[in-house]
Amino acid sequence: MQSHDYLLSMKISVSIVWFKRDLRVHDHAALSAARADSFPILPLYVIEPDYWQQPTASRRHWHFIHDSLIELREDCAFLGQPLVVRTGPIIDVFDAIRDDYKIKGIYAHEETSNLWGYQRDEIVRHWCQTHAIEFHEYPTNGIVRRLRDRDGWARQRNQRMAAPLITSPDQLTPLAIEPGKILAKDDALFGEDVPGLTQTGGRRAGEKILHSFLTTRGREYLYRLSAPGPSEIHCSRLSAHLTWGTLSAREIVKAVQNRRTKLSEADTKIWKRNLSAFNSRLSWRCHFMQKIEDQPKIETDAMHPAFRNMPAVANEDDLFAAWSTGCTGYPFIDACMRNLIHEGWLTFRMRAMLVSFASYHLGIDWRRTGHFLARLFTDYEPGIHYSQIQMQSGITGINAVRIYNPIKQSMDHDSEGVFIRRWVPELQNLSAMWVHEPAKMDTEMQRRVGCVIDQHYPAPIVDHKTAVQAARLRIATARKTAGFRDEAKKIYVKLGSRKRQGVRKAANKAVQIAKQLSFFDAKTRL
């Protein structure tokens, strides 16, 4: 024991800054706190094989992370100590570092992750306690850990967004440690090949995108938000950078504020509503992430218990295969899916429509849908993802049921069929009259335009009206179970959005919502 203590005393003491979904040195609370403790900082990122076996992880994510790690290593090296990268189980990595250094503390942000991530962090906390190592975690993105209910949450979130940005350290003390290998983008660990394009990661790319959005692209943000083609240009396209933390939410909020202060009178008229709408989306982002922070099991369990044992449809595999490849016979659905597969991004309304169609029209298990889409989205953010999957699948118990009519959405957002023809080339010869519903063409017209249904393009795999009726019946049956409203009330108090209302008002609101929600709700898209 004395020999062990002696050896330990001879080791250099270090503070580990453990990077996860916070791949930057700017506005980084954990890095700043570690620097204040005066011990040399070992900046660490761990590639965890178990994580990359999760059904939500994909090589598309790794492409973005890889770019970001390259830049983060450069940024840390500029300060004096390059980012250290290790591959393996997190505890094995910490044990190996502990063999060479005396770890005084581990510093990390409060990661809002999936269930696997929460369980991994608990293992780390236990390891730290076992070895008398302090584990420090710091808030990020306006998410409040150990929140009792939603009363007052918005105020706390806004206070954090209003706080000054945290500057990066002036320097890091060099350590005699091998930086380690950043695995290649094509390493087998990261699963199947990317089916299409990949978004460039790294802070510099994020800064350029932010600048272009706030100076040019965002001037039509509000008006192009729902259109699948123009939204690719006029939406911020910052979601992946927020997801992987190359930019902080607070940095973006303050950049928006700064932009507003510099608007000319003429620009104010054009930009005011667009910037306000974007700010609102940033706030809603935190709102949805807070849900998984408060209830991590929403990744696997429906928020409302009445929806946890919904019967599976008989031909789910066939329906899923058609939906996931963009071969449903609904052109707008298929175009959106193929677009997403190729580019890894899709505007919010179209994401909601894809989920709604899978859940309501096809009856596919929402978890299967969620896993598939998570792998496609470059900006997969667990909190937003599963909150939205459940909301758009109608299983929260507190949200209005929204069943999108794919034909109406097609005509509303792609009236001339430009987007459809781009992504469903089988329909490129069809006029606007037929491109939304090609199965309505008679046989002669099909031959004339070179698109024979069930030969060149599939017939609709389900009938819209029949599928909607079946979906309403499924959910209506669940809503009639004993205690449904009481459970809805609890869910609303814990997870529901509100502005300036107390717990009692929130509870009363929850009762009203439970009473009012029906399949004939005015907000239902039929």
The pLDDT tens digits for 184-211 are 999 999 999 999 999 999 999 999 999 9
128 lies in a domain? yes
> Could you give the count of Cα atoms lying within 13 Å of 223 in the half-sphere of its Cβ?
8
- Residue 503's pLDDT band (cuts 50, 70, 90): very low
Q: Which of 293, 315, 339 is the last residue of a domain?
A: 293
Give the pLDDT confidence score for residue 5 in this predicted structure.
56
Q: How confident is the model at residue 9 (pLDDT cuts 50, 70, 90)?
A: low
Flag whether 106 is in a domain: yes
pLDDT for res 469: 95
**C-alpha angle with apex 456: 453 to 458, nearest 5 degrees?**
50
- 404 shares its domain with 444: yes
Domain CATH code at residue 240? 1.25.40.80
Dihedrals φ, ψ of 95, to 5°?
Answer: -60, -40
**Which of 262, 293, 324 is the C-terminal boundary of a domain?**
293
CA–CA separation, 301 and 319 (whole Å)? 22
Q: What pLDDT is recorded for position 32?
A: 96
- Helix (H/G/I), strand (E/B), else coil: 194: coil
**Rounded Cα–Cα distance for residues 326 and 311 (Å):** 25
**Residue 7's pLDDT band (cuts 50, 70, 90):** very low
Tell me what percent of the residues of the chain surpass a pLDDT of 70: 93
To 10 degrees, what angle do helices 484-495 and 503-516 make?
Answer: 130
Rg (CA), the chain: 25
Residues 349 and 249 in one domain: no
pLDDT in tens, 221-251: 999 999 999 999 999 999 999 999 999 999 9
Do 85 and 217 share a domain, yes or no?
A: no
Percent of the chain with pLDDT over 90: 81
Domain assignment present for 170: no
pLDDT value of position 243: 97
Q: Which of 40-49, 173-182, 392-401 has the lowest mean pLDDT?
A: 392-401
Q: In angstroms, rounded to a whole number, what is the distance separating the alpha carbons of residues 464 and 329?
A: 11
Question: Does residue 526 register a pLDDT over 60?
Answer: no
Q: Where are the beta strands (DSSP E) in 126-260?
A: 134-138
Mean pLDDT of the chain: 91
Return the beta strands (E) in 21-164 as ranges.
41-47, 84-87, 101-109, 134-138
What is the side-by-side strand order in the sheet with 101-109? 84-87, 41-47, 12-19, 101-109, 134-138
User: For residue 401, what pLDDT is reported?
Assistant: 87
For 97-120, b where at least 16 C-beta lie within 10 A, e where not — what string?
A: bbeebbbbbbbbbbbbbbbbbbeb
Inter-CA distances, 340 with 60, 333, 405, Å: 12, 11, 19
Q: How confident is the model at residue 141 (pLDDT cuts 50, 70, 90)?
A: confident
What is the structure's pLDDT at 98? 97
Q: Rounded to an integer, what distance in angstroms lies between the CA atom of residue 61 and that of residue 57? A: 7
In a domain, 171, yes or no: no
pLDDT at residue 75 tops 60: yes
Would the pLDDT of 48 be above 80? Answer: yes
CB atoms within 10 A of CB 501: 13
Tokens describing residue 305 = 């218990």
The token pair that represents 128 in the structure block: 């730290």
Of 133, 136, 60, which is closest to residue 378 (Cα–Cα)?
Answer: 60
pLDDT tens for each residue of 149-169: 788 888 999 999 999 999 999
Whole-angstrom distance, CA of residue 110 vs CA of residue 143 = 8
Same domain flag for 206 and 227: yes
* Number of neighbours of residue 156 by Cβ within 10 angstroms: 14
State the residue for tokens 């009445």: 306
d(CA 262, CA 379): 30
- The answer as to whether 172 is a domain residue is no
Is the domain of 264 the same as that of 123? no
- Mean pLDDT of the 282-309 span: 91
Give the pLDDT confidence of 413-462 residue by residue, as tens digits: 999 999 999 999 999 999 999 999 999 999 999 999 999 999 999 999 99
Q: Are residues 244 and 327 in the same domain?
A: no
Separation between Cα atoms, residue 231 and residue 218, nearest integer Å? 10
Q: Name the residue among 526, 517, 522 with its Cα closest to residue 399.
A: 517
Q: What is the extent of the structural domain holding 108?
A: 2-138
Least confident of 3-12, 27-36, 195-204, 460-469: 3-12
Q: Are residues 20 and 105 both part of a single domain?
A: yes
462 and 478 assigned to the same domain: yes
- Same domain for 60 and 37: yes
- Which residue, 138, 157, 187, sits at the end of a domain? 138
pLDDT-derived band at 177 (thresholds 50, 70, 90) equals very high
Structure tokens that stand for 430 in this block: 């069809």
pLDDT score of 148: 77
**CA-angle at 156, arms to 260 and 214, nearest 5°:** 20
**CB–CB of 64/244 below 8 Å?**
yes
CATH number, position 33: 3.40.50.620
Number of structural domains found in the chain: 3
Q: Is the pLDDT of residue 8 over 60?
A: no
Name the pLDDT band for 499 (thresholds 50, 70, 90). low
Distance CA 89, CA 124 (A): 11
With a cut of 80, say whether residue 514 has pLDDT above it. no
> In sequence order, what are the residues at sequence separation of 6 or more whose Cβ sits closer than 8 angstroms to the Cβ of residue 526?
403, 405, 408, 468
Residue 190 belongs to a domain: no
Instruction: Answer yes or no: is 158 within a domain.
Output: no
pLDDT score for 517: 39
Indicate if 308 and 411 belong to the same structural domain.
yes
Q: Which CATH number characterizes residue 363's domain?
A: 1.10.579.10
3-state helix, strand, coil in the chain (%, to 5): 55, 5, 40
The answer on 111 and 34 residing in a single domain is yes
Encoded tokens for 320: 């899923």
- Kindly state whether residues 287 and 326 are assigned to the same domain: no
User: Is residue 274 in a domain?
Assistant: yes
Contact 101, 190 (CB under 8 A): no
Task: Note the pLDDT of residue 299.
Answer: 93
